[in-house]
Protein backbone atom coordinates (compact mmCIF):
# COMPACT_ATOMS: atom_id res chain seq x y z
CA UNK A 1 0.00 0.00 0.00
CA UNK A 2 1.34 3.33 -0.93
CA UNK A 3 1.16 5.07 2.36
CA UNK A 4 -1.30 7.79 2.70
CA UNK A 5 0.95 10.28 4.33
CA UNK A 6 1.57 11.51 0.82
CA UNK A 7 -2.11 12.34 0.65
CA UNK A 8 -1.93 14.55 3.66
CA UNK A 9 -2.84 18.14 3.16
CA UNK A 10 0.17 20.29 2.64
CA UNK A 11 -0.33 22.18 5.82
CA UNK A 12 0.21 19.03 7.87
CA UNK A 13 3.35 18.23 6.00
CA UNK A 14 4.50 21.78 6.41
CA UNK A 15 3.85 21.60 10.11
CA UNK A 16 6.03 18.55 10.35
CA UNK A 17 8.67 20.13 8.19
CA UNK A 18 8.59 23.23 10.30
CA UNK A 19 9.57 21.32 13.40
CA UNK A 20 12.16 19.02 11.95
CA UNK A 21 15.66 20.29 11.99
CA UNK A 22 17.39 21.56 8.95
CA UNK A 23 19.59 18.51 8.86
CA UNK A 24 16.50 16.37 8.51
CA UNK A 25 15.08 18.77 5.97
CA UNK A 26 18.07 18.21 3.78
CA UNK A 27 17.05 14.60 3.55
CA UNK A 28 13.38 15.35 3.17
CA UNK A 29 14.03 17.65 0.29
CA UNK A 30 15.32 14.87 -1.91
CA UNK A 31 12.67 12.34 -1.00
CA UNK A 32 10.30 13.03 -3.84
CA UNK A 33 9.25 15.76 -6.20
CA UNK A 34 6.32 17.06 -4.26
CA UNK A 35 8.33 17.36 -1.09
CA UNK A 36 11.07 19.11 -2.95
CA UNK A 37 8.50 21.52 -4.23
CA UNK A 38 7.20 22.28 -0.76
CA UNK A 39 10.60 22.60 0.77
CA UNK A 40 12.13 24.79 -1.86
CA UNK A 41 9.29 27.23 -1.76
CA UNK A 42 10.37 30.49 -0.13
CA UNK A 43 7.19 30.67 1.90
CA UNK A 44 8.31 27.53 3.66
CA UNK A 45 11.57 29.09 4.64
CA UNK A 46 9.68 31.72 6.54
CA UNK A 47 7.58 29.14 8.25
CA UNK A 48 10.59 27.28 9.38
CA UNK A 49 12.09 30.36 10.85
CA UNK A 50 8.96 31.15 12.79
CA UNK A 51 8.49 27.60 13.96
CA UNK A 52 11.82 27.75 15.64
CA UNK A 53 12.01 27.52 19.35
CA UNK A 54 13.85 30.08 21.31
CA UNK A 55 15.49 27.88 23.85
CA UNK A 56 18.54 26.76 22.07
CA UNK A 57 21.24 28.52 20.41
CA UNK A 58 23.95 27.88 17.96
CA UNK A 59 27.22 29.58 18.19
CA UNK A 60 29.88 29.90 15.66
CA UNK A 61 33.24 30.68 17.05
CA UNK A 62 36.21 31.53 14.97
CA UNK A 63 39.09 29.70 16.49
CA UNK A 64 41.83 29.75 14.00
CA UNK A 65 42.93 32.24 11.49
CA UNK A 66 45.88 31.09 9.50
CA UNK A 67 47.47 32.33 6.34
CA UNK A 68 45.16 30.49 4.08
CA UNK A 69 42.30 29.05 6.08
CA UNK A 70 39.67 30.35 8.30
CA UNK A 71 38.33 27.70 10.53
CA UNK A 72 35.52 27.90 12.89
CA UNK A 73 33.73 25.74 15.29
CA UNK A 74 30.04 25.60 15.66
CA UNK A 75 28.70 25.07 19.09
CA UNK A 76 25.32 24.39 20.36
CA UNK A 77 24.22 25.75 23.63
CA UNK A 78 21.69 23.59 25.32
CA UNK A 79 19.96 26.23 27.24
CA UNK A 80 17.77 25.17 30.05
CA UNK A 81 17.96 23.80 33.52
CA UNK A 82 21.53 22.73 33.11
CA UNK A 83 23.02 24.87 30.46
CA UNK A 84 25.97 23.43 28.70
CA UNK A 85 27.84 23.72 25.49
CA UNK A 86 28.33 21.06 22.88
CA UNK A 87 30.62 21.26 19.99
CA UNK A 88 28.54 20.50 16.95
CA UNK A 89 31.01 20.55 14.19
CA UNK A 90 33.99 22.26 12.72
CA UNK A 91 33.88 23.93 9.42
CA UNK A 92 36.32 25.58 7.15
CA UNK A 93 35.98 28.13 4.45
CA UNK A 94 37.56 27.89 1.10
CA UNK A 95 41.26 28.45 0.97
CA UNK A 96 42.75 31.69 -0.33
CA UNK A 97 41.01 33.83 2.18
CA UNK A 98 42.54 35.52 5.09
CA UNK A 99 39.44 36.38 6.84
CA UNK A 100 38.04 37.11 10.20
CA UNK A 101 34.62 36.20 11.21
CA UNK A 102 32.63 39.23 12.25
CA UNK A 103 29.09 38.22 12.79
CA UNK A 104 26.12 36.70 11.17
CA UNK A 105 22.66 37.86 10.49
CA UNK A 106 19.72 36.09 8.96
CA UNK A 107 21.87 33.31 7.70
CA UNK A 108 24.55 35.51 6.26
CA UNK A 109 27.98 35.30 7.69
CA UNK A 110 29.97 38.46 7.67
CA UNK A 111 33.67 38.21 7.23
CA UNK A 112 36.33 40.76 7.63
CA UNK A 113 38.86 40.47 4.92
CA UNK A 114 42.30 41.90 5.13
CA UNK A 115 45.16 41.75 2.75
CA UNK A 116 47.69 43.41 5.00
CA UNK A 117 48.65 42.92 8.56
CA UNK A 118 47.85 46.17 10.16
CA UNK A 119 45.77 47.55 12.87
CA UNK A 120 42.18 47.32 11.93
CA UNK A 121 39.21 48.90 13.43
CA UNK A 122 36.78 46.52 14.98
CA UNK A 123 33.46 46.09 13.39
CA UNK A 124 30.77 44.73 15.52
CA UNK A 125 27.16 44.08 15.82
CA UNK A 126 26.23 43.44 12.27
CA UNK A 127 23.46 41.32 13.56
CA UNK A 128 21.63 44.34 14.86
CA UNK A 129 18.92 44.34 12.29
CA UNK A 130 15.85 46.36 13.23
CA UNK A 131 13.25 48.05 11.09
CA UNK A 132 14.89 46.90 7.92
CA UNK A 133 18.23 48.42 8.84
CA UNK A 134 21.53 47.03 9.89
CA UNK A 135 23.31 48.77 12.71
CA UNK A 136 26.87 48.63 13.74
CA UNK A 137 29.45 50.44 15.76
CA UNK A 138 33.11 50.77 15.18
CA UNK A 139 35.83 50.66 17.78
CA UNK A 140 39.22 52.00 17.04
CA UNK A 141 41.62 49.52 18.42
CA UNK A 142 44.13 51.76 20.07
CA UNK A 143 42.81 53.94 22.81
CA UNK A 144 40.11 54.56 25.34
CA UNK A 145 38.45 57.10 23.21
CA UNK A 146 35.71 54.87 22.09
CA UNK A 147 33.33 56.11 19.54
CA UNK A 148 29.71 56.42 20.40
CA UNK A 149 28.32 56.55 16.91
CA UNK A 150 25.89 53.97 15.62
CA UNK A 151 26.00 53.52 11.90
CA UNK A 152 23.05 52.10 10.13
CA UNK A 153 22.06 51.21 6.66
CA UNK A 154 18.48 50.84 5.59
CA UNK A 155 17.89 48.21 2.99
CA UNK A 156 14.76 49.68 1.60
CA UNK A 157 15.87 53.25 1.15
CA UNK A 158 19.52 52.29 0.79
CA UNK A 159 20.36 55.22 3.02
CA UNK A 160 23.10 55.43 5.58
CA UNK A 161 22.37 57.18 8.80
CA UNK A 162 24.20 57.72 12.01
CA UNK A 163 22.91 57.94 15.49
CA UNK A 164 24.36 58.00 18.98
CA UNK A 165 24.78 55.40 21.65
CA UNK A 166 23.46 56.10 25.12
CA UNK A 167 25.83 57.97 27.37
CA UNK A 168 28.19 55.39 28.79
CA UNK A 169 28.80 55.03 32.48
CA UNK A 170 31.94 56.93 33.43
CA UNK A 171 34.29 56.36 36.31
CA UNK A 172 35.00 58.84 39.06
CA UNK A 173 37.58 60.60 36.92
CA UNK A 174 35.24 60.94 34.01
CA UNK A 175 36.81 58.24 31.87
CA UNK A 176 34.90 55.45 30.41
CA UNK A 177 36.52 52.09 30.21
CA UNK A 178 34.19 49.83 28.51
CA UNK A 179 33.25 47.92 25.48
CA UNK A 180 30.02 48.60 23.75
CA UNK A 181 27.96 46.22 21.80
CA UNK A 182 24.73 46.47 19.87
CA UNK A 183 21.98 43.98 19.48
CA UNK A 184 18.30 43.50 19.02
CA UNK A 185 15.83 42.72 21.71
CA UNK A 186 12.29 42.28 20.55
CA UNK A 187 11.86 45.07 18.06
CA UNK A 188 14.31 47.39 19.70
CA UNK A 189 17.93 48.07 19.44
CA UNK A 190 19.87 47.62 22.61
CA UNK A 191 23.31 48.67 23.59
CA UNK A 192 25.36 46.90 26.19
CA UNK A 193 28.33 48.42 27.95
CA UNK A 194 30.86 46.21 29.56
CA UNK A 195 32.83 48.20 32.10
CA UNK A 196 35.92 46.55 33.40
CA UNK A 197 37.44 48.65 36.11
CA UNK A 198 37.53 47.19 39.60
CA UNK A 199 35.30 49.94 40.92
CA UNK A 200 32.93 49.74 38.05
CA UNK A 201 32.53 46.16 36.98
CA UNK A 202 29.06 46.15 35.54
CA UNK A 203 27.33 45.32 32.37
CA UNK A 204 24.75 47.94 31.53
CA UNK A 205 22.10 47.20 29.00
CA UNK A 206 20.15 50.05 27.46
CA UNK A 207 17.26 49.81 25.06
CA UNK A 208 16.32 52.32 22.41
CA UNK A 209 12.60 52.40 22.90
CA UNK A 210 11.72 54.42 19.82
CA UNK A 211 13.76 53.37 16.90
CA UNK A 212 16.07 56.13 15.76
CA UNK A 213 15.30 58.46 18.65
CA UNK A 214 18.47 59.02 20.62
CA UNK A 215 16.57 60.44 23.59
CA UNK A 216 14.70 57.19 24.02
CA UNK A 217 17.67 55.17 25.25
CA UNK A 218 16.70 53.79 28.62
CA UNK A 219 18.60 51.55 30.95
CA UNK A 220 17.08 48.12 31.12
CA UNK A 221 19.31 46.18 33.41
CA UNK A 222 22.59 46.32 35.20
CA UNK A 223 24.45 43.25 36.23
CA UNK A 224 27.68 43.09 38.19
CA UNK A 225 30.06 40.75 36.51
CA UNK A 226 32.92 41.03 39.05
CA UNK A 227 35.21 39.38 36.66
CA UNK A 228 38.93 39.44 37.06
CA UNK A 229 39.62 41.30 33.88
CA UNK A 230 41.65 44.34 33.71
CA UNK A 231 40.79 44.70 30.13
CA UNK A 232 38.88 42.00 28.36
CA UNK A 233 39.96 41.27 24.87
CA UNK A 234 36.57 41.57 23.46
CA UNK A 235 33.01 41.85 24.48
CA UNK A 236 29.88 40.91 22.71
CA UNK A 237 26.46 40.01 23.92
CA UNK A 238 25.53 36.96 21.97
CA UNK A 239 21.97 36.41 22.89
CA UNK A 240 19.26 37.42 25.25
CA UNK A 241 16.90 34.82 26.51
CA UNK A 242 13.36 35.54 27.44
CA UNK A 243 13.94 35.69 31.14
CA UNK A 244 16.65 38.29 30.68
CA UNK A 245 19.43 35.84 31.06
CA UNK A 246 22.00 36.49 28.46
CA UNK A 247 25.04 34.96 26.94
CA UNK A 248 28.08 36.95 26.15
CA UNK A 249 31.58 36.65 24.93
CA UNK A 250 34.38 38.29 26.85
CA UNK A 251 38.06 37.65 27.07
CA UNK A 252 37.84 34.64 24.78
CA UNK A 253 35.28 32.88 26.85
CA UNK A 254 31.60 32.48 26.71
CA UNK A 255 29.67 33.48 29.75
CA UNK A 256 26.12 33.10 30.73
CA UNK A 257 24.68 35.74 32.99
CA UNK A 258 21.55 34.78 34.75
CA UNK A 259 18.94 36.84 36.40
CA UNK A 260 20.27 36.07 39.85
CA UNK A 261 23.30 38.12 39.05
CA UNK A 262 25.41 35.06 38.59
CA UNK A 263 27.71 34.42 35.75
CA UNK A 264 28.67 31.07 34.39
CA UNK A 265 31.65 30.46 32.23
CA UNK A 266 31.81 27.88 29.53
CA UNK A 267 34.50 25.41 30.35
CA UNK A 268 36.13 24.45 27.14
CA UNK A 269 35.40 27.17 24.71
CA UNK A 270 38.62 28.96 25.14
CA UNK A 271 39.53 30.56 21.94
CA UNK A 272 43.09 30.47 20.73
CA UNK A 273 45.26 33.20 22.04
CA UNK A 274 46.13 36.00 19.76
CA UNK A 275 43.15 35.51 17.56
CA UNK A 276 40.41 37.94 17.58
CA UNK A 277 37.50 36.18 19.05
CA UNK A 278 34.32 36.44 17.23
CA UNK A 279 31.05 34.83 17.74
CA UNK A 280 27.71 34.79 16.19
CA UNK A 281 24.47 33.33 17.12
CA UNK A 282 21.41 32.21 15.40
CA UNK A 283 18.43 32.02 17.58
CA UNK A 284 16.69 29.42 15.62
CA UNK A 285 15.73 26.02 16.71
CA UNK A 286 18.29 23.86 18.30
CA UNK A 287 20.26 21.78 15.90
CA UNK A 288 18.70 23.68 13.08
CA UNK A 289 20.84 26.70 12.94
CA UNK A 290 24.08 24.96 12.72
CA UNK A 291 23.38 24.18 9.16
CA UNK A 292 22.48 27.71 8.48
CA UNK A 293 25.85 28.85 9.42
CA UNK A 294 27.58 26.16 7.54
CA UNK A 295 25.56 26.80 4.51
CA UNK A 296 25.70 30.51 4.60
CA UNK A 297 27.60 32.10 1.91
CA UNK A 298 30.21 34.43 3.17
CA UNK A 299 30.13 38.06 2.48
CA UNK A 300 33.60 39.25 2.10
CA UNK A 301 33.98 42.69 3.44
CA UNK A 302 36.86 44.80 2.56
CA UNK A 303 39.35 45.88 5.12
CA UNK A 304 39.09 49.56 4.39
CA UNK A 305 35.56 49.99 5.39
CA UNK A 306 35.92 52.74 7.81
CA UNK A 307 33.72 54.92 5.74
CA UNK A 308 30.64 52.88 6.41
CA UNK A 309 29.46 53.17 2.84
CA UNK A 310 31.93 50.69 1.57
CA UNK A 311 31.24 47.87 3.89
CA UNK A 312 27.52 48.07 3.70
CA UNK A 313 27.60 48.37 -0.04
CA UNK A 314 29.60 45.23 -0.18
CA UNK A 315 27.02 43.51 1.86
CA UNK A 316 24.25 44.87 -0.25
CA UNK A 317 25.66 43.69 -3.52
CA UNK A 318 24.95 40.23 -2.32
CA UNK A 319 21.34 41.07 -2.01
CA UNK A 320 18.91 42.75 -4.24
CA UNK A 321 17.61 46.21 -3.90
CA UNK A 322 14.75 46.95 -1.63
CA UNK A 323 14.61 43.55 -0.08
CA UNK A 324 13.57 43.32 3.50
CA UNK A 325 15.91 41.25 5.60
CA UNK A 326 13.17 38.75 6.27
CA UNK A 327 12.65 38.15 2.60
CA UNK A 328 16.32 38.03 2.14
CA UNK A 329 16.47 35.29 4.66
CA UNK A 330 13.86 33.36 2.78
CA UNK A 331 15.81 33.66 -0.37
CA UNK A 332 18.98 32.56 1.32
CA UNK A 333 17.20 29.58 2.71
CA UNK A 334 16.07 28.58 -0.69
CA UNK A 335 19.33 29.18 -2.34
CA UNK A 336 21.47 27.65 0.29
CA UNK A 337 19.73 25.12 2.36
CA UNK A 338 17.33 23.81 -0.13
CA UNK B 1 -21.63 15.42 28.49
CA UNK B 2 -20.35 12.53 30.50
CA UNK B 3 -22.39 11.07 33.23
CA UNK B 4 -20.35 12.76 35.91
CA UNK B 5 -22.21 12.47 39.20
CA UNK B 6 -24.92 10.04 38.42
CA UNK B 7 -25.11 7.45 41.11
CA UNK B 8 -23.68 4.09 40.14
CA UNK B 9 -26.63 2.01 39.16
CA UNK B 10 -27.31 -1.34 37.70
CA UNK B 11 -23.95 -2.71 36.79
CA UNK B 12 -25.25 -5.32 34.48
CA UNK B 13 -26.77 -2.88 32.11
CA UNK B 14 -23.57 -1.12 31.36
CA UNK B 15 -21.32 -4.11 31.08
CA UNK B 16 -23.67 -5.54 28.65
CA UNK B 17 -23.34 -2.47 26.45
CA UNK B 18 -19.61 -2.40 26.58
CA UNK B 19 -17.30 -5.10 25.36
CA UNK B 20 -14.39 -3.59 27.25
CA UNK B 21 -13.60 -5.46 30.45
CA UNK B 22 -12.31 -2.40 32.28
CA UNK B 23 -15.64 -0.77 33.00
CA UNK B 24 -15.77 -1.70 36.61
CA UNK B 25 -16.65 1.84 37.55
CA UNK B 26 -19.90 1.03 35.88
CA UNK B 27 -21.36 4.35 35.03
CA UNK B 28 -24.13 4.37 32.53
CA UNK B 29 -22.10 6.15 29.90
CA UNK B 30 -23.34 6.74 26.46
CA UNK B 31 -21.49 4.85 23.79
CA UNK B 32 -20.79 5.97 20.31
CA UNK B 33 -20.18 3.56 17.53
CA UNK B 34 -17.55 4.27 14.94
CA UNK B 35 -16.97 2.32 11.79
CA UNK B 36 -13.61 2.24 10.13
CA UNK B 37 -13.10 2.08 6.39
CA UNK B 38 -12.34 -1.62 6.66
CA UNK B 39 -15.72 -2.12 8.31
CA UNK B 40 -14.59 -2.67 11.86
CA UNK B 41 -16.86 -1.43 14.56
CA UNK B 42 -15.55 0.50 17.53
CA UNK B 43 -17.66 1.31 20.51
CA UNK B 44 -16.24 4.16 22.49
CA UNK B 45 -17.48 6.18 25.36
CA UNK B 46 -19.00 9.43 24.39
CA UNK B 47 -16.37 11.42 26.25
CA UNK B 48 -13.66 9.74 24.20
CA UNK B 49 -15.48 10.26 20.94
CA UNK B 50 -15.92 13.93 21.77
CA UNK B 51 -12.14 14.25 21.71
CA UNK B 52 -12.48 13.79 17.98
CA UNK B 53 -13.54 17.16 16.71
CA UNK B 54 -14.83 15.58 13.53
CA UNK B 55 -17.12 13.23 15.41
CA UNK B 56 -18.16 15.96 17.79
CA UNK B 57 -19.32 18.20 15.00
CA UNK B 58 -21.16 15.27 13.49
CA UNK B 59 -23.25 15.07 16.63
CA UNK B 60 -23.57 18.79 16.93
CA UNK B 61 -25.11 18.81 13.48
CA UNK B 62 -27.46 15.98 14.32
CA UNK B 63 -27.65 15.66 18.09
CA UNK B 64 -30.24 12.93 18.16
CA UNK B 65 -28.38 10.69 15.81
CA UNK B 66 -27.89 7.17 17.01
CA UNK B 67 -26.35 6.00 13.81
CA UNK B 68 -22.99 4.47 13.43
CA UNK B 69 -20.47 7.14 12.56
CA UNK B 70 -18.66 6.09 9.42
CA UNK B 71 -15.02 7.06 9.16
CA UNK B 72 -14.25 6.41 5.53
CA UNK B 73 -10.67 7.66 5.68
CA UNK B 74 -9.60 5.68 8.68
CA UNK B 75 -8.53 2.08 9.00
CA UNK B 76 -8.94 -0.02 12.10
CA UNK B 77 -5.42 -0.30 13.37
CA UNK B 78 -4.49 3.36 13.65
CA UNK B 79 -7.97 4.12 14.86
CA UNK B 80 -7.66 1.71 17.75
CA UNK B 81 -4.36 3.30 18.71
CA UNK B 82 -5.84 6.75 18.51
CA UNK B 83 -8.73 5.67 20.72
CA UNK B 84 -6.28 4.22 23.20
CA UNK B 85 -4.41 7.51 23.31
CA UNK B 86 -7.54 9.60 23.77
CA UNK B 87 -8.80 7.41 26.59
CA UNK B 88 -5.66 8.16 28.53
CA UNK B 89 -5.81 11.84 27.73
CA UNK B 90 -9.28 12.02 29.24
CA UNK B 91 -7.95 10.62 32.47
CA UNK B 92 -5.33 13.34 32.50
CA UNK B 93 -7.95 15.93 31.77
CA UNK B 94 -9.94 14.87 34.80
CA UNK B 95 -6.84 14.57 36.87
CA UNK B 96 -4.10 16.78 35.54
CA UNK B 97 -0.61 15.50 36.11
CA UNK B 98 1.79 16.92 33.60
CA UNK B 99 4.69 14.65 34.48
CA UNK B 100 2.56 11.57 34.30
CA UNK B 101 1.05 12.69 31.03
CA UNK B 102 4.45 13.33 29.53
CA UNK B 103 5.58 9.93 30.63
CA UNK B 104 2.55 8.28 29.16
CA UNK B 105 2.89 10.12 25.87
CA UNK B 106 6.55 9.18 25.62
CA UNK B 107 5.79 5.54 26.28
CA UNK B 108 2.89 5.55 23.90
CA UNK B 109 5.17 6.84 21.18
CA UNK B 110 8.24 4.73 21.78
CA UNK B 111 6.36 1.47 21.61
CA UNK B 112 4.90 2.33 18.23
CA UNK B 113 6.61 1.28 15.07
CA UNK B 114 7.52 3.88 12.49
CA UNK B 115 4.64 2.76 10.36
CA UNK B 116 2.15 2.99 13.19
CA UNK B 117 3.24 6.53 13.92
CA UNK B 118 3.06 7.63 10.35
CA UNK B 119 -0.30 5.96 9.85
CA UNK B 120 -1.76 7.68 12.86
CA UNK B 121 -1.01 11.14 11.55
CA UNK B 122 -3.68 11.18 8.85
CA UNK B 123 -6.12 9.75 11.35
CA UNK B 124 -5.36 12.38 13.92
CA UNK B 125 -5.63 14.96 11.20
CA UNK B 126 -8.92 13.65 9.88
CA UNK B 127 -10.43 13.37 13.34
CA UNK B 128 -8.91 16.72 14.27
CA UNK B 129 -7.25 15.66 17.49
CA UNK B 130 -4.84 18.48 17.87
CA UNK B 131 -2.96 17.24 20.92
CA UNK B 132 -2.26 13.92 19.33
CA UNK B 133 -1.27 15.52 16.08
CA UNK B 134 1.26 17.72 17.83
CA UNK B 135 2.70 14.77 19.69
CA UNK B 136 2.90 12.68 16.54
CA UNK B 137 4.45 15.43 14.48
CA UNK B 138 7.16 15.91 17.01
CA UNK B 139 7.78 12.18 17.27
CA UNK B 140 8.12 11.89 13.53
CA UNK B 141 10.42 14.88 13.43
CA UNK B 142 12.59 13.26 16.08
CA UNK B 143 12.73 9.96 14.29
CA UNK B 144 13.97 11.36 11.01
CA UNK B 145 16.56 13.53 12.65
CA UNK B 146 19.91 13.09 10.99
CA UNK B 147 18.75 10.33 8.68
CA UNK B 148 19.53 9.76 5.05
CA UNK B 149 17.18 10.44 2.18
CA UNK B 150 16.65 6.72 1.72
CA UNK B 151 15.77 6.32 5.33
CA UNK B 152 13.23 9.11 5.24
CA UNK B 153 11.69 7.67 2.11
CA UNK B 154 11.28 4.27 3.73
CA UNK B 155 10.12 5.81 6.93
CA UNK B 156 7.19 7.48 5.25
CA UNK B 157 6.79 4.80 2.62
CA UNK B 158 7.16 7.24 -0.20
CA UNK B 159 8.14 6.23 -3.69
CA UNK B 160 11.14 7.83 -5.24
CA UNK B 161 9.83 9.65 -8.27
CA UNK B 162 13.12 11.15 -9.33
CA UNK B 163 14.80 9.65 -12.34
CA UNK B 164 18.27 8.24 -11.90
CA UNK B 165 19.75 11.30 -13.60
CA UNK B 166 17.81 13.68 -11.41
CA UNK B 167 18.84 11.80 -8.32
CA UNK B 168 22.47 11.89 -9.34
CA UNK B 169 22.18 15.61 -9.95
CA UNK B 170 20.68 16.11 -6.51
CA UNK B 171 23.46 14.20 -4.94
CA UNK B 172 26.04 16.27 -6.71
CA UNK B 173 24.29 19.47 -5.85
CA UNK B 174 23.79 18.63 -2.23
CA UNK B 175 26.78 16.45 -1.63
CA UNK B 176 27.23 17.79 1.86
CA UNK B 177 23.72 16.76 2.78
CA UNK B 178 24.66 13.16 2.33
CA UNK B 179 27.51 13.35 4.78
CA UNK B 180 27.36 12.69 8.43
CA UNK B 181 23.96 11.06 8.60
CA UNK B 182 23.32 8.08 10.82
CA UNK B 183 24.21 4.72 9.41
CA UNK B 184 20.85 3.02 9.52
3-state DSSP of A35-67: HHHHHCCHHHHHHHHHCCCCCEEEEEEEEEECC
3-state secondary structure of A326: helix
Is A24–B158 a contact, with Cβ atoms under 8 angstroms apart? no
Query: Above 50 in pLDDT, residue B86?
Result: yes
Which residues are within 8 A (CB) of A213 and not within 5 positions of it... i.e. 6 or more apart?
A: none
Helical pair B114-127 and B76-94, crossing angle rounded to 10 deg: 70
Q: What's residue B62's pLDDT?
A: 74
pLDDT (average), residues B140-168: 86
Give the Cβ contact number of residue B91 at 10 Å. Answer: 13
Q: What is the nearest CA distance from A8 to chain B, expressed in angstroms?
A: 6
Residues of chain A with C-beta less than 8 angstroms from the C-beta of B76: none
pLDDT given for residue B80 in this prediction? 92
Say if residues A48 and A287 touch (Cβ distance below 8 Å).
no
Contact of B133 with B125, CB cutoff 8 Å: yes
Report the chain A residue with the minimal C-alpha distance to residue B171. A30
Taking an 8 Å cut-off on Cβ atoms, the answer to whether B177 and A26 are in contact is yes
Interchain contact A92–B (C-beta under 8 A): no
Of A145 and B104, the structure prediction assigns the larger pLDDT to: B104
What is the domain partition of chain B in residue ranges?
A: 24-143, 146-184
pTM: 0.46
Domains and CATH numbers, chain A: 4-50+327-337 (no CATH), 57-319 (2.120.10)
Is A113 or B148 the better-scoring residue by pLDDT?
B148
ipTM value of the model?
Answer: 0.70
Q: Identify the CATH number of the domain defined by range B24-143.
A: 3.30.710.10
More confidently predicted of B62 and B148 = B148
- How many Å apart are CA B54 and CA A298, to the nearest integer? 50
Closest chain B residue by Cα to residue A19:
B141
Asked if residues A337 and A154 have their Cβ atoms less than 8 Å apart, the reply is no
Residue A29: which pLDDT band, with cuts at 50, 70 and 90? confident
Mean pLDDT of A97-107: 42
Q: How confident is the model at residue B159 (pLDDT cuts 50, 70, 90)?
A: confident
For residue A33, list chain B residues with Cβ-Cβ distance below 8 A. 161-162
Rg over alpha carbons for chain B, rounded to the nearest Å, is 21
Report yes or no: A38 at the B interface, CB cutoff 8 Å: no
Contact by Cβ (8 Å): A80, A55 = yes
Is pLDDT above 60 for A142? Answer: no
Option in B141, B149, B180 nearest A30 (CB): B149
Contact A23 B146 (CB under 8 A): yes
Model pLDDT for residues B2-56, shown as the tens digit of each residue: 444 444 433 333 334 444 444 444 456 678 888 888 889 888 888 888 888 888 8
State mean pLDDT over A225-247: 65
A24:B157 CB<8 A: no
Nearest one of A58, A60, A62 to A274, comparing CA atoms:
A62
User: CB-based contact (8 Å) between A53 and chain B?
Assistant: no
Amino acid sequence: MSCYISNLPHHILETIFSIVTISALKSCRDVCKSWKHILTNPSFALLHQHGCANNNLILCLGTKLTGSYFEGNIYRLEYGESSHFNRARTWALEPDFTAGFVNSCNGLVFMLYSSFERIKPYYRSFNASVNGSFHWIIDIDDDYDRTNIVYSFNFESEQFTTSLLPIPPVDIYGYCYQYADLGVLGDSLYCSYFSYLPWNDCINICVMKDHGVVESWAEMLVIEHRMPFWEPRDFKVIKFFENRNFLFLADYHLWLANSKNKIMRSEDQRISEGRKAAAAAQQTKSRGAQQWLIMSRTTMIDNNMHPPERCACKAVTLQQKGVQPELLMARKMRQITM
Amino acid sequence: MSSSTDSPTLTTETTQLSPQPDTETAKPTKKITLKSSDNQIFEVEESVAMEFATVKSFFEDSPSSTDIVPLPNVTAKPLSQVIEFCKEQIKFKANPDEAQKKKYNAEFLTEKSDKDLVDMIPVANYLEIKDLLDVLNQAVADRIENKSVEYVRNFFGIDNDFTAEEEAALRREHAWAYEGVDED
